[in-house]
Every structure is written in structure tokens, then in C-alpha cells.
Amino acid sequence: MRTDERDTAQSDYLAFCKESRSLSHNTLLAYEQDLTCLARYCRSKPDQTEFNQDIVLSYLRYLRERKNLQPATLRRRMLTLRAFAAWLLKTDRIELSPFAGLDLELKLPRRLPRPVDRSVVRGMLTEQRDSVTSLAIKLMIATGIRVGELTNIRISDIHDEGRKIRIRGKGNRERTVYVGNSALLGELRACLVSRKAVTSSAEFLLMNTRGTRLTEQALRGRLRNLSSKLGIHPHITPHRFRHSAATYLIEEGVDIRFVQRLLGHSSIATTEIYTRVSDTSLMTAIEIADPLGKLQSEFT
């Protein structure tokens, strides 16, 4: 496959993913980034014109040794490449997948999600003076929604005086999240009343100072600045609030199936990782309480 043929194939594959696979905007951007990186590498190897196992293995070495990519990023790059190769084979653009018979070790180290400590959340909400950022943090904690889902909520998505919010998740799957905190409901209702007086119901819930939609990047930046101001390292990301929401619910005894539905996980296996986090919290609480140690100290 020549360079021009590969470039055309990559464009066609991205178009296919957008039109037929209902992938999220962020996923499509990741695919495009991964394939662009591959194309750039292939252009640096004019002597390797075939899309075969040799180019896959040399590209993998390049990503590991020269780019020093994290395991998760490395795995994503290879998975994107594997999916691209499968599509090329299916559309008769290649006769043999370069991954045929290739056994790549792409396992990731098992890491538990890191929820935000409750005292840190309280500190952030106490310090935060910007009402939009404060509302965003509270909604993420209360519902576990993703940052992209949050910044795309429109006024028309909010129902039952703020209790129900329609969310468009990954792959354009819709679900409903619920707001049960009375104080947050009050803030949300007050926001709706003020916003409906001056904007249409099609407008976004979270707006920036210019009167346009608050983007994911802008919200991440606000959280980064707030983390720096409070001396929080590493800085708090929106996804850690999502982890926190799930962990807090599990710790409060909410059925894992309800948590799965709230987060929009297609598989309960994804949600089950939060039970392990809860077990970690339980261990910490037991070590702090140490009833046996306290009993024994009474007799020494």
C-alpha cells in the first residue's frame, strides 16, 4: 500500500467511523490522532512501503523507546491500528492483516480509580466563588456525569424542576440522571429561572463570560487553576469527580446496578471496580478505628 493509498484509506476509515459506528467526538479525535501519528512515522520510513508486521513492530518499538508513551496510550494506539487493519481487510484494501498471528503484550497495570477526598471537595466548594464552576462541580459529584456530557447539557434537557436531566452519552446513547440534593436543586432551579428569562431553551446550561457554551477544555482549565490555588497536587480532573460520585454512592450502600445505570456503563464489570475502591476505604476505616488495639491498650 503506497503512501497516497494509505492516506486515502485513513480518511475513508475515519469517515466510516463517524457515519456508521456512532462514536463520540472525543473518540473520533483520538482515532484521527493515532492514525496521523502512524502516517507521520510511515513517511519517515520510505524503504518500508508495505503495511505488514514489520512496520507494526517497528512502529511499536518507536512508540515505546523514542516516544516513551504511557502504557494506556501505547495500548490505545495499537488498538486503533488493529481496528484500522481489520477495516482494510474487510474492504479488500489489503490481503492480509499485519496483526494476523501477531501476539502483542499490551496489558495495562491494574490501577484503581482515585476518588477526590471529601475534605478536598468541601475545600474546593468553599473556595470557589464562580457560580458556573461551582454548579459544574456539584453536578459531577451528584450525578457522576462525564465532562463532555455536562458541558453539552441544554436548558431543554432539564425536567421536573431540575430533578431529571437527559444526558447524551458515548455513542449518542441517552440516559437520565437524577438530582436528589435539595440545596443543589435550589441552585439549579434558580439558574433555570434566570436563564429562561433571557435565553431560549435550546441554550446550554453552563455558559462562559462571553455568553457561549463553556467547553470541556475551559472547565478543565478552571479546575486546574482552582487546584493550584488550593495547593492540590496533582490537580483535580473532571474524571476524578466521576470516580468520586461512584465511590461515594457505593460507600453509602447504593445498589451497584443503580450506580451502573447512573454512570451509563454498558457493562456492570466496569462499575464493579468501585466496589474495590470502597473495600479500600473500609480497610482504611478499620485501621483507624482499630477496636482490638484500643481494647488491648486498656489492659497495658
Catalytic residues, by residue number, are 146, 170, 239, 242, 265, 274
Question: 148 with 26: CB under 8 angstroms?
Answer: yes
What cell does 22 get? 456512532
Closest residue by Cα to residue 98 from 60, 35, 51: 51
What cell does 49 get? 512501503
Angle at 143 between CA 24 and CA 172, to 5 degrees: 20
What cell does 156 get? 431543554
Question: 78 with 60: CB under 8 angstroms?
Answer: yes
Query: How far is residue 203's CA from residue 156's CA, in Å, rounded to a whole number?
Result: 8
DSSP SS3 for 23: coil
